[in-house]
Structure 1
């Protein structure tokens, strides 16, 4: 029997595994980087071991250090979670060699499926050896990759060599392996996967399908189970291929076999030899705890001959600290509040007051809704997200709500190109026009000492406040009267520092208001309180390139020096932030007047990176 589990991971998945361990009476050990010293997963574990450093390469990717931590903490088992070392065969061997129980598949199975090229060969699928014009478009992928790293879509043969080089560089940086390959890119395909579970007694379950077609940068955003609209014959084919993949490598534990479905045919993509981020939708539909089953399998218990029956439908949305309208740029800062309505499962590695840093993935939480039908589950999740309180950095919450309500998604006609087609419409600002007034009235009810100066004009004069909302400035006016606060054209039913009730055109609406410094959250709308007088010094020279987010400069374009001629749109340097690379390009055609950074430099948001003078 396993008594103490060390989770070789962080954040949401570590917290989720700890939850099951507590329910089973198993003690828990966390590992943490210096950046995660006060993270939620560190706080909720029974014991925690420091991994010196902040970057993943010197902390969560140091297998030998983690094994030593497990031994030192008295753990008798290691669960890898997902990401980091979860699909590293050498780490699995090191755990076993240390006399610990590895809660995962055998190292040989991990090794067999670790390279996407070798996995495809095992399943009888050959990657493209020589790309021709007739093969376009193609997808360049990292053989050892995942999460969209080292992946490029190539539509012109002239771009292939440059994209191959870029993919190799990114793959080598992310995975320590620069091998890449090409395969046909299907424009309107669906990403469908099968959850498998196998014990040491020869039983393999195909535990339903999942659809993960809504992706940004080849990373999943919304997932659901079962995958809608599949024929019985196609579903059976998916199950058979998934079980065949598992048996081919003598698989043990939880894993996922991924496919691209197009034209009624399933094309094998890869096998992920670990638990998936989206596993909760399968748990909801089948009424199981996959982590508990992982532990039971690791202890040698047998699965039932047949898996449980599926019930209903489940949908999961990943809440990211990112700005979808600004190139999906990751965001950082204090998460002041995170709360979703009852009836929706929330898996998270954060709680109120935690900081979202620059070192790791920007996912804040996963929200999961389960209902008897797909339509009900989708409606429940969209409504819960719309009413959720997510106060802090910019998130993708509005995008998630609109995606769930988009006619293509509700009809089950989505594919992996969904955001390529619909992103502009899904990110079009649609703030509540009464939100600035609600913010101003709530501010007027705060204690005078907490407001700017606590000043008042004469009662006959309106109070004026300015807010930035959805990229525009809004000025609002209201009056203090003997009967309370008033505003032209709107009836103020109630106003205090946390709640404002307004009636306009006969319709009454409630606005919950929370303020953190100059950031104001009015329901689902975020505003910034503007100063009475703008700062005239907050300016930069024309052509200045500022860091769009905190991160690390990983590469500078080859041969780029001050005075170099550049073309508009030409890549100049690359920033890495939260597991993604972001390309910084020349804003105009001209020459590079200044280059302020070099590879390895860590920068804050707004740092001057370079200056390009136009011709």
Structure 2
């Protein structure tokens, strides 16, 4: 097992990893930017190293500085968390050259699954159902239009390197196709320096359902149930829950087996997620694979009883997965709400600033993952998510009641948040009845 791990991240996920390491008896090194000098993760770790100015490009995305800090502190491994360098194959190869273990899959697997069009091809070859679309990437609006005519409208235009909703557009007909394609491609070039695009049949009113998997170095892969992540705004998830209330036992079994097959097809090692689109008719299609820990991993930890961060560390240290598939039983229901420092009434404008007063509730089945505290200054340089509120109970109805009670107790003064907006969603009739799709927000709120 490792003696010391460097966490190449910030915020609540860095705190979450530090706590897991502490429980495992592993020393930790935090890295922080100048804007994060008072951040909680820098205070909780055994050591902390400043790696540059506030902009992420000069700190949390600066591979050389992070590796220099790793070598200088004699850390044997790097945990990337999510975002930043967590799915950057170049960084993984640099770690290998420096004899540092990257806690995650190999660079080759990240390349294979991180490129959306290549991932589709790999999954098709493995017999995993994918949304009908292009088999090869497209680069110009003209060639893409010819392919779109064969697939049929409406059609989804996607960036091969995309993520977080960037480089995505829906085209309803030939009339708006060229404009949408060019806009999506420009976004892809600006965000990912990649002009590679692909097309998929647009699945109307789907659910976003994903399966958590673990794979180790011994060829074993297991799945820990599914999460329903359909409540989204501009492809950014807001509320996640496990299990999904809309699928039958048969679909759940088939989806889980498909996810394991997908993981084994690429020799996956670490925690990862296979994301599916679930149609209104019960068909499901592979959408993408996330080769990292997910923001919403706590709901799976609640219902499965498996600590995913500890499993990641064990797997990267060369140990087998600590649980067998037959031992994993999904029990009860868990819900997560992402709390962001933003103003929903002003188009969800980010609202950095100082937290003047903070009260976080607790209780049976309540978990709050955060890195903020009273007096903390939220910097304007990073993602606006400041905490995740997660609850667990015997069934969905009880979990919703517990989440409403918990959110009602949270006090965050000094900055605007989406707390009331989340509370309102939990009181919507369609949400309570489980009638949700990826269009829920736009259909229920202007």
Structure 2 residue 429 is the aligned partner of structure 1 residue 407: yes
RMSD (Å), alpha carbons: 1.7
Return structure 1 stretches of 4+ with deviation > 4 angstroms. none
* 1:29 CA drift (Å): 0.8
Structure 2 residue 317 is the aligned partner of structure 1 residue 273: no
Query: Corresponding residue for 1:376?
Result: 398
* 1:234 CA drift (Å): 1.1
Q: Deviations over 1:44-86 (max 9, x none)?
A: 2111222222222222222222111111111111111011111
Counterpart of 2:170 (choices 147, 153, 157) is 153
Q: Deviations over 1:574-615 (max 9, x none)?
A: xxxxxxxxxxxxxxxxxxxxxxxxxxxxxxxxxxxxxxxxxx
Determine helix, strand or coil for the equivalent of 2:212: strand
Whole-Å Cα distance in 2 between the matches of residues 186 and 390 of structure 1?
A: 39
Whole-Å Cα distance in 1 between the matches of residues 157 and 348 of structure 2?
A: 21
Query: Corresponding residue for 1:392?
Result: 414
Query: Corresponding residue for 2:139?
Result: none
Structure of greater relative contact order (alpha carbons < 8 Å, 6+ residues apart): 2
* 1:22 CA drift (Å): 1.2
Determine helix, strand or coil for the equivalent of 2:167: coil
* 1:127 CA drift (Å): 2.8
Query: Corresponding residue for 1:96?
Result: 96
| Superposition TM-score, scaled by structure 2 size | 0.91
Whole-Å Cα distance in 1 between the matches of residues 49 and 169 of structure 2?
A: 38
| 1:163-562 paired onto structure 2 within 5 Å | 163-262=180-279, 263-303=281-321, 304-306=323-325, 307-343=327-363, 344-424=366-446
Whole-Å Cα distance in 2 between the matches of residues 119 and 76 of structure 1?
A: 31
* 1:133 CA drift (Å): 10
Whole-Å Cα distance in 2 between the matches of residues 142 and 339 of structure 1?
A: 41
Whole-Å Cα distance in 2 between the matches of residues 153 and 394 of structure 1?
A: 32
Deviates more, 1:209-218 or 1:374-383: 374-383
On the 8 A contact 1:193/1:211 being kept in 2, the answer is yes
Distance 1:133 1:197, change over 3 A: closer
Whole-Å Cα distance in 1 between the matches of residues 357 and 440 of structure 2?
A: 30
Query: Corresponding residue for 2:9?
Result: 9
Whole-Å Cα distance in 2 between the matches of residues 159 and 133 of structure 1?
A: 16
Whole-Å Cα distance in 2 between the matches of residues 163 and 9 of structure 1?
A: 34
Deviates more, 1:279-288 or 1:291-300: 291-300
Determine helix, strand or coil for the equivalent of 2:166: coil
Q: Deviations over 1:165-205 (max 9, x none)?
A: 23223222322323232322223100000000011112111
Distance 1:159 1:327, change over 3 A: farther
| 1:574-589 paired onto structure 2 within 5 Å | none
Determine helix, strand or coil for the equivalent of 2:105: coil
Q: Deviations over 1:255-279 (max 9, x none)?
A: 0000000010111100100100000
Corresponding pairs, count: 424
On the 8 A contact 2:227/2:240 being kept in 1, the answer is yes
Q: Deviations over 1:483-534 (max 9, x none)?
A: xxxxxxxxxxxxxxxxxxxxxxxxxxxxxxxxxxxxxxxxxxxxxxxxxxxx
On the 8 A contact 2:151/2:201 being kept in 1, the answer is no
Query: Corresponding residue for 2:22?
Result: 22
Q: For the pair shown, which has the larger CA radius of gyration, 1 or 2?
A: 1
* 1:330 CA drift (Å): 1.6
Whole-Å Cα distance in 2 between the matches of residues 390 and 35 of structure 1?
A: 21
Deviates more, 1:46-55 or 1:371-380: 46-55
* 1:114 CA drift (Å): 1.1
Whole-Å Cα distance in 1 between the matches of residues 223 and 186 of structure 2?
A: 36
Distance 1:202 1:16, change over 3 A: same
Structure 1: which 5+ residue stretches go unaligned? Answer: 425-615
On the 8 A contact 1:382/1:400 being kept in 2, the answer is no
Query: Corresponding residue for 1:573?
Result: none
Whole-Å Cα distance in 1 between the matches of residues 158 and 381 of structure 2?
A: 24
* 1:156 CA drift (Å): 4.7
On the 8 A contact 1:104/1:254 being kept in 2, the answer is yes
Determine helix, strand or coil for the equivalent of 2:156: strand
Distance 1:358 1:260, change over 3 A: same
Whole-Å Cα distance in 2 between the matches of residues 204 and 17 of structure 1?
A: 22
| Superposition TM-score, scaled by structure 1 size | 0.67
On the 8 A contact 2:133/2:151 being kept in 1, the answer is no
Deviates more, 1:93-102 or 1:269-278: 93-102
Structure 2 residue 133 is the aligned partner of structure 1 residue 127: yes
Whole-Å Cα distance in 2 between the matches of residues 354 and 298 of structure 1?
A: 34
More strand by share: 1
Distance 1:393 1:133, change over 3 A: farther
Structure 2: which 5+ residue stretches go unaligned? Answer: 125-129, 135-143
